[in-house]
A = this chain, B = another copy of it.
């Protein structure tokens, strides 16, 4: 057995690496199923190219599924898989820490303002 956990962390990072994957997951984890255009509305700064490639990566790793409805206008629905749901604890800890970190940073800001006044 390994004493440190480098391999495990790296294995996870391989799936989650990329500027937008965790952002995408934070949205689809809440909505269960989302369309391409819904992602674009939810994440205004992402380009179609990046959204497309990140979704493909996540699909490749079995985190999300992609279903095409053969109708006009075209409709594609992305859903989080059961395996993808297993990432929720990671998302939760990230959100929790981020929330605290945002508060922490704004409190640091105030300190700087106070000490300068």
Contacts and interface: CB of A to CB of B under 8 A. Distances in A.
B102 A11 contact: yes
- The secondary structure that dominates the A interface is helix
* Range for the number of chain A residues in contact with chain B: 35 or more
Contacts of A87: 97
A89 B98 contact: no
A4 interface: yes
A76 interface: no
Contacts of A99: 5, 8, 11
Given A86-B100, A90-B90, A100-B86, A95 B13 contact: no
A98 B7 CA distance: 8
A50 interface: no
